[in-house]
Every structure is written in structure tokens, then in C-alpha cells.
């Protein structure tokens, strides 16, 4: 579709959102995602949209709540502590069935943590994050090219099923530069049909309401059940994953994002040393590719989850397998990154020395 | 029979949940009349708060959104920037606007967002049962100040109009009351002017309405109106606090831009 261009992860993400039709952005500075609002501050007006540097992350997500209610494709981005602040607003967006894009360029936590890349926000992202009974669509890019191309998919799913969509990156992917190719045609928002629920100027239709409450007995239950039905449809139709060298694998690494990149190097090193290792990379973290993982367990009897956290996604792998295969964990918490050599050592421990299940850490 | 007055088209014919003697119903009607008179109903988006007016999204006959406590001005910012051809108003109480939503209202005013805020000040948290508001006056009894608000322990109330009027951003700020007919009419003029200010693209407008809360104050509706007159208005004086609508310059003219080049000169 377009020629290759060298771009920084955060800028590719911002440009990808604009090309996917985003015309409103609100955000607040926080490292390591500052390039997103900086890029949007000039790119948004250039594209005929609006940019606001909000007074806080709380305010930014509520600007998005308002903008999303008008049917305009909109986006906010932040990093871990800022995403925590946005959870109230995100819960309201989910409760009002509003589509939007939120990007989390994850850093070390909890608390102020540090500003290096990490994967400690998996639970927060895949379990809703805010109060109440809801889900958000979560995609995990493994590099700059996916940062550039995932916004389009996020908007597509968000608008089809009416829910917030998140891109869960990390500080490494946000800051690194790689060649980018935009894989889809640029979307002109003027060509998009206005959603039937969007607030705005009207020629005498019935008034429209956007809210997340219903105090009448039984009505909130109906609202949540309707949403649960859409969540099931998403689980059936929108799962994405990537598999590498799993055909003859005796152990499958399960890793997403940056961890999946390191895992490829670890896998290659292990293969060179005679270990039959494959890689399973969830691309959507919710919906989690649990059916495919269960299917894999018919052939693969050992799984190694590799995460830059103390072990969060490992629980989803265990739930998917439901005891049908061994689950091990290689955890790099505190915004540390594993190396290929460390992964090989863990793989060797499991395959040659019979390491205990879930024995974790470096 | 001749019809002398009727429900404004901008107000839906449903029973409201407000208590007898509450000011919200009056202010709703005034806003609706203004929407009718300015013929802006079909392009107006209103924002309902958290608090007693939470169901305002049901009552007004225009597009409405209800969101988190205190975030109305942020929602309004998003709506107005995404759809600049709409008229956007945020309807907020004192806890919503001056306590949990203080950052949002101040920064919307700083940015001079071209929105209108209707701020109901009844010096108490009504919906949750009469707790201290940021506007509760010294000595005033609430369920969280059983002995009366003691500034030594609970601080002083905030005068929102006076505070916001110190900013460069706002175009029009006025405090009104709805405790008697004369003041309701004045309130309507102010609210109409606020919507016109937005319609003319002049920037941020806010009307504070000092409003009776007989239930929260433990007074009869009549006594509550007297309380507004004798106690609240002396503490919260009515009047215009900021008005640039008559001046020819818009707010951007008053800003001296200090960039690198002008400093080097």
C-alpha cells in the first residue's frame, strides 16, 4: 500500500491512528509515550481534527468519553500510572458502549516504578481495569510495524461491537525505530457512516442519550447481558495469534509483545542446541486465544510462558490448558528484560533436567 | 380558551424526581425556554452530572450524555472539539463542579472552551443526603458537620465565580438566584446570554445559580427561599463577575506571546 518508512514506535502508533480515521486526540505527558501527544499536536490539526493537551489523564479520558459519544474516531494514550487514572473514565466508556482507542505504552510498576518497558499491566488491561463488569479489546504489538497497523483493526472491532479498544505496547516498542509499512488504505472519516447512536446536530430525529446507568429494576442486568453477548461474539470472531515452529515442537513458548521478540532469539538458540521449541504469540490479549492453546496441548505437552512481569498472562495459559499440559514461567519483573541465553537456560532446565512446573524467574 | 404558556419544546413531559421547593426544576425550565428561544435544541448536547441532576439526561429534549462525577467540562471539551457546530452545556452541582471536578472546570475555563456551564450552588450534597459541600458556609450544619462547618477543621467554602473571574480564559461569568420571580427572570437573562456567548463563538461561559435545597437544609420550601435571600446571597453576592462579550477584542488579543524570537529581540 505504501513504501517503507523508518519510524519510532510511538509516532507510528499516532500516524496509524490518524490513517485509521482518528480525528480527536486528548492526552497528558508521561514517559515513555510523550511522542504520541507531541506527534498528534501537529498531525491532528493537519488532518482536520482536534488535539487537546488535557490537565490530567482523568480529564483526557473524559474528553474522549465526550468525543466518542459524537461518533468521531478518537484516541488517548498514556503509560501505566496514567492508565490507572483513566480507569474510571474507561469504565464509563465501556458502560456507555462507546468505541475508542486507548494506548498504554507500559512502564515498570507498581507505583511510580520506572520508565523502562514492562508487561506488568496485563491483568489491568485484560480484566477490564476499572469498576464493574466489562471487557475491552486488547491488542499487543510486537514492534513498530504493528504499532502502525493495529489502530485500524482496533477501530474496526471497537465500532463493530461497541467497546473500547486498547493497544498494549511497552516502553521498548514505543521508543525503538523500525521500518514501517502501512498495510491498509488511509480512511477518510467523512466516508464513514455516522453511527445510529451518535450525538450531534440533527434534523428533528428523536433525542439520543449516552449513559451508563439504569436504575429501573432488571434493566442494568439486561444492559450487561447484551454486552456479554457481544463479548462472546468477539471471543468467537476476533482472536488473533501467531505461531512459529510449532509443528514438531515439544515445548511451546507463549509470549506477547517484546517478550515474544526475545523468545524468537531464545527459541533459535535452543533449536541450535537440539531442543524442539516453538513459539505461540497471542496478538489479542483479550480475547485470549484459549481455544487454540487448548488445541495445541493435544501435541505439545509443555508450555513456557515468558513475561516481563512476575507472571500474569501465565494464569490465562493455565486457564486455557485446564491442567492438560505442564505450564512453566520465565518471569522478568520490575521492567527487566530476559535474554536469549537466559531463556535457553530455562528451556534446558525444563527439557533436560525436569525443572518443576511454574518454577519461574530468571 | 387561549393558551398563555406551555411546556417548552426542549423539556420532556415526564415527572421529575426533584423534591418540592428544589431549584433544579426551575433552572431546567429556564434552560429549556432559552434553547427554544434561541432555536438551538436540534444542535444542543447537554451533559448531566452525578448528583441530584443525574437524570437531567432524561428531562431535556436534546441529545444528552451522563458521565463521571465532576468531569462534565472535560466531556464538553471532547464533544465541542469533535463537533464544533454543536452547542454544548454542562449542568453541574457544587460537589460535582467545585470539589471532585475542580480541575476540570478550572482548566476548561483556562482554555476558554466554547461551552456553557450551569452551576447549581445549594451549599450541600443533596443526593447523598446532606453532607458538606465545597460551598457549605461556616457554621452551616450538614450531616458531616453536625455542629456546623468549622473552618479550623473543615476549611472555608469556595466562591467559584470570583475564582474563575481571575482567569484570562472565561468570556462571561454571572451569579444569579432562583428564590423568587424577579430573580428567576434575571437568571433566565443570564443563562440566555451564556448560551448566546457560546453561539457567537466568544468562549467559556458560566452561570452560577444559588438554589434552594429545602430537604438538605431541613427547611420548608418557603423558609428555604428566605435562607437563600438572607444567608446565601450575602455570602455569595449576585452579579456579573466577568463579561468580555461587549468588548471588541477577543481573548486572544490580550495574550502577549513570549516565544524565543521575541525574547531575543
Residues A207/A243, Cβ–Cβ less than 8 Å = no
Q: Which residues pair with A280 in a beta bridge?
A: A243, A254
Contact between A67 and B104 using a beta-carbon 8 Å cutoff:
no
The cell for B18 is 426533584
What tens digit of pLDDT does each residue of A91-129 get?
A: 999 999 999 999 999 999 999 999 999 999 999 999 989
**Alpha-carbon distance B176 to B185, whole Å?**
10
In Å, the largest CA–CA distance within chain A is: 74
pLDDT band of residue A355 (cuts 50, 70, 90) is: confident
pLDDT band of residue B246 (cuts 50, 70, 90) is: confident
In 3D space, the residue among A330, A5, A49, A67 whose CA is nearest the CA of residue A187 turns out to be A49
The answer for residues whose C-beta is within 8 angstroms of residue A325's C-beta and 6 or more apart is: A297, A300, A301, A302, A303
**Alpha-carbon distance A238 to A240, whole Å?**
6
Strands B172-177 and B205-210: parallel
- A266 and A135 both lie in a single domain: no
Residue A207: inside a domain: no
Residue A177: inside a domain: yes
What tens digit of pLDDT does each residue of B193-225 get?
A: 999 999 999 999 999 999 999 999 999 999 999
Phi, psi torsion values for B19, nearest 5 degrees: -70, 155
Mean pLDDT throughout A234-261?
Answer: 98
> Does A92 reach chain B within 8 Å, measured CB to CB?
yes
What tens digit of pLDDT does each residue of A264-319 get?
A: 999 999 999 999 999 999 999 999 999 999 999 999 999 999 999 999 999 999 99
Residue A172: inside a domain: yes
Q: Which of A22, A101, A196, A199 to mutate to test the interface with B (most CBs of B within 10 A)?
A: A199
- A263 and A232 both lie in a single domain: no
Residue with cell 457567537: B200
Residue A206: inside a domain: no
Contact between B103 and A58 using a beta-carbon 8 Å cutoff:
yes
What tens digit of pLDDT does each residue of A249-278 get?
A: 999 999 999 999 999 999 999 999 999 999
> Does B112 reach chain A within 8 Å, measured CB to CB?
no
In 3D space, the residue among A175, A258, A181, A140 whose CA is nearest the CA of residue A8 turns out to be A175
- A57 and A90 both lie in a single domain: yes
Give the one of B43, B57, B62 whose C-beta lies nearest to A211's C-beta.
B57
Give, as one character, the DSSP assignment of residue A91.
Answer: H
pLDDT over threshold 50, residue A24:
yes
* Number of domains chain A is built from: 2
Mean pLDDT throughout A134-139?
Answer: 98
**Alpha-carbon distance B177 to B236, whole Å?**
10
- Last residue within a domain, chosen from A237, A263, A293: A237
Mean pLDDT of chain B: 95
Cis peptide before A10 (omega within 30 of 0): no
- A109 and A64 both lie in a single domain: yes
pLDDT of residue A356: 78
- A268 and A343 both lie in a single domain: yes
pLDDT band of residue B247 (cuts 50, 70, 90) is: confident
**Alpha-carbon distance B103 to A253, whole Å?**
46
- Last residue within a domain, chosen from A211, A237, A263: A237
Give, as one character, the DSSP assignment of residue A229.
Answer: H
pLDDT over threshold 70, residue B262:
no
Mean pLDDT of chain A: 96
What tens digit of pLDDT does each residue of A327-347 get?
A: 999 999 999 999 999 999 999
First to last CA, chain B: 76
Give the one of A55, A62, A208 whose C-beta lies nearest to B68's C-beta.
A62
Nearest CA in chain A to B100: A58
Residue A101: inside a domain: yes
pLDDT over threshold 90, residue A361:
no
- A281 and A296 both lie in a single domain: yes
pLDDT of residue A16: 98
The answer for residues whose C-beta is within 8 angstroms of residue A57's C-beta and 6 or more apart is: A27, A28, A30, A76, A78, A82, A83, A85, A86
Residues B194/B205, Cβ–Cβ less than 8 Å = yes
Q: What is the model's pTM?
A: 0.96
- A233 and A270 both lie in a single domain: no
Nearest CA in chain B to A94: B67
pLDDT band of residue A354 (cuts 50, 70, 90) is: confident
Cα angle vertex A239, ends A235, A241, to 5°?
A: 150
Reduced DSSP (H G I as helix, E B as strand, rest coil) percent helix, strand, coil of chain A, to 5: 40, 20, 40
Give CB contacts under 8 A, 24+ apart, made by A269-275: A269/A340, A269/A341, A269/A343, A269/A344, A270/A343, A270/A344, A270/A347, A270/A348, A271/A245, A273/A344, A273/A348, A275/A250, A275/A251, A275/A344, A275/A347, A275/A348, A275/A351
Give the one of A55, A67, A96 whose C-beta lies nearest to B79's C-beta.
A67
pLDDT of residue B258: 63
Residue with cell 462507546: A98
pLDDT band of residue B259 (cuts 50, 70, 90) is: low
Residue A219: inside a domain: no
- A258 and A332 both lie in a single domain: yes
- A13 and A99 both lie in a single domain: yes
Name every chain A residue with its beta carbon within 8 A of the beta carbon of B67.
Answer: 62, 65-66, 89, 92, 96, 211-212
> Does A69 reach chain B within 8 Å, measured CB to CB?
yes
> Does B78 reach chain A within 8 Å, measured CB to CB?
yes
The answer for residues whose C-beta is within 8 angstroms of residue A161's C-beta and 6 or more apart is: A137, A230, A231, A233, A234, A238
What is the CATH classification number for the domain harbouring A86? 3.40.50.970
Q: Whats the size of chain A, residue-wise?
A: 362
- A186 and A250 both lie in a single domain: no
Crossing angle of helices A9-19 and A35-46, in 10° steps, is 30
pLDDT over threshold 90, residue B48:
yes
pLDDT of residue A56: 98
Q: Which of A53, A60, A62 to mutate to test the interface with B (most CBs of B within 10 A)?
A: A62
Nearest CA-CA distance, residue A131 and chain B, Å: 12
> Does A55 reach chain B within 8 Å, measured CB to CB?
yes
CA distances B155 to A283, B16, B103, B163, B177, Å, are: 52, 34, 18, 16, 25
**Alpha-carbon distance B200 to B173, whole Å?**
15
Residue A216: inside a domain: no
In 3D space, the residue among B194, B240, B179 whose CA is nearest the CA of residue B88 turns out to be B194
What tens digit of pLDDT does each residue of A54-96 get?
A: 999 999 999 999 999 999 999 999 999 999 999 999 999 999 9
Q: Which residues pair with B149 in a beta bridge?
A: none
Domain hosting A313: range is 242-353
- A169 and A298 both lie in a single domain: no
The cell for A201 is 446536530
Contact between A66 and B58 using a beta-carbon 8 Å cutoff:
no
**Alpha-carbon distance B29 to A272, whole Å?**
78
Nearest CA-CA distance, residue A70 and chain B, Å: 7
**Alpha-carbon distance A145 to A152, whole Å?**
12
What is the CATH classification number for the domain harbouring A258? 3.40.50.920
- CATH superfamily of the domain spanning B24-264: Thiamin diphosphate (ThDP)-binding fold, Pyr/PP domains (3.40.50.970)
pLDDT band of residue B63 (cuts 50, 70, 90) is: very high
pLDDT of residue A2: 64
pLDDT of residue A362: 47
- Coil/strand/helix, residue B87: strand
- A190 and A246 both lie in a single domain: no
> Does B17 reach chain A within 8 Å, measured CB to CB?
no
pLDDT over threshold 90, residue B255:
no
pLDDT over threshold 90, residue A25:
yes
Strands B63-66 and B44-48: parallel
**Alpha-carbon distance A345 to A359, whole Å?**
13
pLDDT band of residue B263 (cuts 50, 70, 90) is: low
Give, as one character, the DSSP assignment of residue B60.
Answer: B
Amino acid at each position: 500500500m505504501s513504501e517503507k518508512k523508518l519510524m519510532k514506535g510511538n509516532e507510528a502508533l499516532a500516524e496509524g491512528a490518524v490513517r485509521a480515521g482518528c480525528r480527536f486526540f486528548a492526552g497528558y505527558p508521561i514517559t515513555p509515550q510523550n511522542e504520541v501527544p507531541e506527534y498528534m499536536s501537529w498531525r491532528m490539526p493537519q488532518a482536520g481534527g482536534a488535539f487537546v493537551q488535557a490537565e490530567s489523564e482523568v480529564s483526557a479520558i473524559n474528553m474522549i468519553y465526550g468525543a466518542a459519544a459524537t461518533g468521531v474516531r478518537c484516541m488517548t494514550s498514556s503509560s501505566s500510572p496514567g492508565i490507572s487514572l483513566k480507569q474510571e473514565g474507561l469504565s464509563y466508556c465501556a458502560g456507555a458502549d462507546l468505541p475508542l482507542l486507548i494506548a498504554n505504552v507500559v512502564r515498570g510498576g507498581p507505583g511510580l516504578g520506572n520508565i523502562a518497558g514492562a508487561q506488568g499491566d496485563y491483568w489491568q488491561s485484560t480484566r477490564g481495569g476499572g469498576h464493574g463488569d466489562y471487557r475491552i479489546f486488547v491488542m499487543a504489538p510486537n514492534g513498530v510495524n504493528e504499532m502502525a497497523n493495529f489502530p485500524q483493526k482496533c477501530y474496526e472491532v471497537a465500532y463493530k461491537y461497541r467497546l473500547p479498544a486498547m493497544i498494549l505496547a511497552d516502553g521498548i516498542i514505543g521508543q525503538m525505530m523500525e521500518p514501517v509499512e502501512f498495510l491498509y488504505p488511509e480512511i477518510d472519516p467523512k466516508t464513514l457512516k455516522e453511527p445510529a447512536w451518535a450525538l450531534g446536530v440533527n434534523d428533528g430525529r428523536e433525542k439520543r442519550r449516552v449513559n451508563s446507568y439504569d436504575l429501573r429494576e432488571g434493566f442494568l442486568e439486561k444492559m450487561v447481558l447484551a454486552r456479554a453477548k457481544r463479548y462472546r461474539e468477539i471471543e468467537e470472531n476476533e482472536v488473533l495469534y501467531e505461531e512459529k515452529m510449532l509443528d514438531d515442537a515439544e515445548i511451546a513458548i507463549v509470549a506477547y509483545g517484546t517478550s515474544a521478540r526475545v523468545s524468537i532469539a531464545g527459541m533459535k538458540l535452543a533449536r541450535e542446541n537440539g531442543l524442539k521449541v516453538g513459539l505461540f504469540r497471542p496478538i489479542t490479549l483479550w480475547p485470549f486465544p484459549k481455544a487454540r492453546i487448548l488445541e495445541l496441548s493435544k501435541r505439545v505437552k509443555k508450555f513456557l510462558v515468558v513475561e516481563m512481569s512476575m507472571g500474569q498472562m501465565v494464569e490465562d495459559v493455565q486457564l486455557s490448558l485446564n491442567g492438560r499440559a505442564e505450564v512453566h514461567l520465565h518471569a522478568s519483573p520490575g521492567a527487566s528484560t530476559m535474554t536469549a541465553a537466559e531463556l535457553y537456560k530455562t528451556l534446558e532446565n525444563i527439557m533436560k533436567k525436569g525443572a518443576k512446573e511454574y518454577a519461574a524467574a530468571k | 380558551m387561549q393558551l398563555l404558556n406551555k411546556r417548552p419544546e426542549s423539556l420532556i413531559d415526564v415527572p421529575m424526581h426533584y423534591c418540592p421547593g428544589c431549584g433544579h426544576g426551575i433552572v431546567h425550565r429556564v434552560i429549556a425556554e432559552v434553547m427554544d428561544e434561541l432555536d438551538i435544541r436540534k444542535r444542543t448536547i447537554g451533559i448531566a452530572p452525578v448528583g441530584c441532576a443525574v437524570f437531567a439526561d432524561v428531562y431535556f429534549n436534546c441529545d444528552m450524555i451522563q458521565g463521571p462525577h465532576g468531569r462534565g467540562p472535560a466531556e464538553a471539551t471532547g464533544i465541542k472539539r469533535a463537533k464544533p457546530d454543536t452547542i454544548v452545556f454542562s449542568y453541574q452541582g457544587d460537589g460535582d463542579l467545585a470539589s471532585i471536578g475542580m480541575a476540570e472546570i478550572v482548566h476548561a475555563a483556562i482554555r476558554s472552551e466554547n461551552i456553557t456551564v450551569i452551576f447549581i450552588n445549594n451549599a450541600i450534597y443533596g443526593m447523598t443526603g446532606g453532607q458538606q459541600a465545597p460551598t457549605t458556609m461556616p457554621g452551616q450544619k450538614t450531616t458531616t458537620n453536625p455542629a456546623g462547618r468549622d473552618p479550623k477543621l473543615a476549611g472555608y467554602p469556595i466562591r467559584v465565580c470570583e475564582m474563575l473571574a481571575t482567569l484570562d480564559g472565561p468570556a462571561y461569568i454571572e451569579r444569579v438566584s432562583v428564590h423568587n420571580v424577579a430573580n428567576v427572570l434575571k437568571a433566565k437573562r443570564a443563562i440566555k446570554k451564556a448560551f448566546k456567548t457560546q453561539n457567537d463563538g466568544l468562549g467559556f461561559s458560566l452561570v452560577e445559580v444559588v438554589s434552594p435545597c429545602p430537604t438538605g437544609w431541613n427547611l420548608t420550601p418557603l423558609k428555604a427561599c428566605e435562607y437563600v435571600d438572607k444567608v446565601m446571597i450575602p455570602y455569595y453576592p449576585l452579579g456579573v463577575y466577568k463579561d468580555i462579550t461587549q468588548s471588541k477584542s477577543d481573548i486572544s488579543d490580550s495574550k502577549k506571546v513570549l516565544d524565543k524570537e521575541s525574547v531575543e529581540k
